[in-house]
Amino acid sequence: MAEQGKTKLSRRDFLRLVGLGGVGVAATSIAASPLAKPLAANPSFRAKKFTDPAGRPDRPWWVKTVDQPTTEIDWDMMQRYNERMGTVRGPGFAEYVGEARADELGDIGNAFLQNALENNAPGYTLKDQALKASQGARMDLSFMGPQKAKTPEEWGVPKWTGTPDEAARIVRAAFRHNGAATVGFVELDENTRKLIYGVDPDGKELIFTDDDEASETDEARYIPNKAKWMIVYTVQMSEETLKRAPTVLASQTTSLAYKRGRIIQNSSQEFLRGLGYMGLGESSTNALAISPAFGVMAGLGEMSRLNRLITPEFGPMVRVFKMLTDLPLATDKPIDAGIMEFCKSCKKCAEACGGEALSFEDPTWEVRGGWNNPGHKAFFEDATKCRTWQKTDTGTNCGICFAVCPFAKKDKAWIHEWVKASTSAAPVLDGFFRSMDDAFGYGVMKDNEEWWSLDLPEYGCDSGGML
């Protein structure tokens, strides 16, 4: 009997095996199912009603709202910034490196592109350049908006009214519908008003007035004091595409996000006008106000070693946009998801930065140049090194720092959310998670030619499973 017991499978053992096998088969089926992919990847497949009266998204427990942002701010030190001093738009870059050097770098960048095209360098081929060019087909931006929508006055009805919660909910729904990934609101006070530029990239002053309506002249844009609610919204970039950085193919996803931002801005300005309110937008890309700062204050994300916004949902794979309105909105609080803390030990972006432009130090109050706005404690970057390296070694916008960031994940694997939760709850593990990120091969530059064989969703965006 004993001999038989050792060689034959008992009924109990058989049932155990069936149970284990069943669990395995079920798990494989769920994970591999074609249904699981859209369910995990696309928030629209999880249509549900807002549970919050102001339409705030249901975020995981580890995204905590806080009274003070994780970036320390000294509001007394903060001044309204002149965006002409930035290195991307306006004369700032030429002033920092000299006119001749700026011209020389422009020529070097153009020669790099031409050479890479003629040599069929991956990510720089004619089809890559053509795709990049397609993102240049932009619609105009303006401070006041298209002003075409029929107003309540023209309809002969009173303007829309509701509580700040109701207003926040419908504005959030409209912005999301028009293409925004996440939306948050900040009420301007004597402090947050300092995050509005003093001078726009085109040189026009931004002036607050007691006027009832906004206006614009050749010298200035006038913002009525009653327009004191800032709508802050993000637009996703394609993580899969930007992971090909630094190439023309990768950088065009940035241009695409800006193009989509323009569409959202124009549409939303018309939406607000249709309700009977003003929507004062960016007169050009990144105009009006400091995007990452408002992103932080609106609780959309935290500052990072990139000196850009990192969101819990999409990591750094977003662009941030702003719009002022006089429609009273329920505001949002900053968040603490452990992102800023993680950046202190990670440094992956700084190590990968070809231009050695990113900081390896802890956050500091000391700015690196006129392109940084003093008054907050941050990982300040050397923007002139960044722009110079982009010209000499990429011929285009770089984006390596976005691509290698451990928060830049598609969130299909459960482990990513568990790591994010652990990062928030137990920062002592941050160094270990950074090592594991390397070991698993995340952040390695992907094949540019392979991209043209991928069947990606619209806009190449396949992230955001946790929303």
Partner 1 sequence: MTEKFTIEVKKRAWYEWVLWALWLFSVVAILQNAVASAGELEPRAAAISWITFFVLLIAGGAVWFMRRSK
Residues that bind partner 1 (CB under 8 A): 5-6, 13, 20, 23-24, 27-28, 30-32, 37, 40, 240, 409-410, 412-415, 439-442, 444, 446, 454
- Which is closer to partner 1, CB of 360 or CB of 414? 414
Q: How far is the CB of 29 from partner 1 (least distance, A)?
A: 10
Q: How far is the CB of 342 from partner 1 (least distance, A)?
A: 19
If you compute the radius of gyration of the chain from its CA atoms, what whole number of angstroms results?
A: 25
The one-character DSSP state at 86 is S
Cβ atoms within 10 A of the Cβ of 72, count?
A: 13
Q: How far is the CB of 343 from partner 1 (least distance, A)?
A: 22
Q: What share of the chain is helix, strand, coil (3-state, %, to 5)?
A: 45, 10, 45
- Which is closer to partner 1, CB of 30 or CB of 130? 30
Instruction: Say if residues 433 and 422 touch (Cβ distance below 8 Å).
Output: yes
- Which is closer to partner 1, CB of 108 or CB of 352? 352
Taking the C-alpha atoms of residue 270 and residue 279, their distance in angstroms, rounded to an integer, is: 8
Burial pattern 428-443, b for ≥16 Cβ within 10 A else e, equals eebeebbeebeeeebb
Instruction: Say if residues 283 and 200 touch (Cβ distance below 8 Å).
Output: yes
**Tokens 């241009």 sit on residue:** 255
- Which is closer to partner 1, CB of 139 or CB of 415? 415
- Which is closer to partner 1, CB of 149 or CB of 445? 445
Total count of residues recorded for the chain? 467
Q: How far is the CB of 459 from partner 1 (least distance, A)?
A: 16
Q: How far is the CB of 214 from partner 1 (least distance, A)?
A: 45
Taking the C-alpha atoms of residue 86 and residue 384, their distance in angstroms, rounded to an integer, is: 10
Q: How far is the CB of 159 from partner 1 (least distance, A)?
A: 46
Q: How far is the CB of 27 from partner 1 (least distance, A)?
A: 5
- Which is closer to partner 1, CB of 39 or CB of 263? 39
Q: Angle between the 248-275 and 164-178 helix axes, to the nearest 10 degrees?
A: 140
- Which is closer to partner 1, CB of 70 or CB of 238? 238
Please, which residues bridge with residue 335 across strands?
A: 65
The one-character DSSP state at 213 is S
**DSSP conformation letters of 278-295:** -EE--SSTT-SB-HHHHH
**Tokens 């999409």 sit on residue:** 314
- Which is closer to partner 1, CB of 207 or CB of 445? 445
Q: How far is the CB of 247 from partner 1 (least distance, A)?
A: 17
SS3 at position 429: helix
- Residue 268 structure tokens: 């939303």
Taking the C-alpha atoms of residue 399 and residue 36, their distance in angstroms, rounded to an integer, is: 30
- Residue 308 structure tokens: 């850009």
Rounded to 5 degrees, φ, ψ at 444 are -75, 135
- Which is closer to partner 1, CB of 196 or CB of 404? 404
Taking the C-alpha atoms of residue 192 and residue 176, their distance in angstroms, rounded to an integer, is: 24
- Which is closer to partner 1, CB of 77 or CB of 415? 415
- Which is closer to partner 1, CB of 326 or CB of 411? 411
Q: How far is the CB of 441 from partner 1 (least distance, A)?
A: 3
Angle (CA) 33-34-40 rounded to 5° is 85
Q: How far is the CB of 46 from partner 1 (least distance, A)?
A: 17
Return the sign of the alpha-carbon dihedral for residues 457, 462, 466, 467. negative
Q: How far is the CB of 457 from partner 1 (least distance, A)?
A: 12
Cβ atoms within 10 A of the Cβ of 120, count?
A: 11
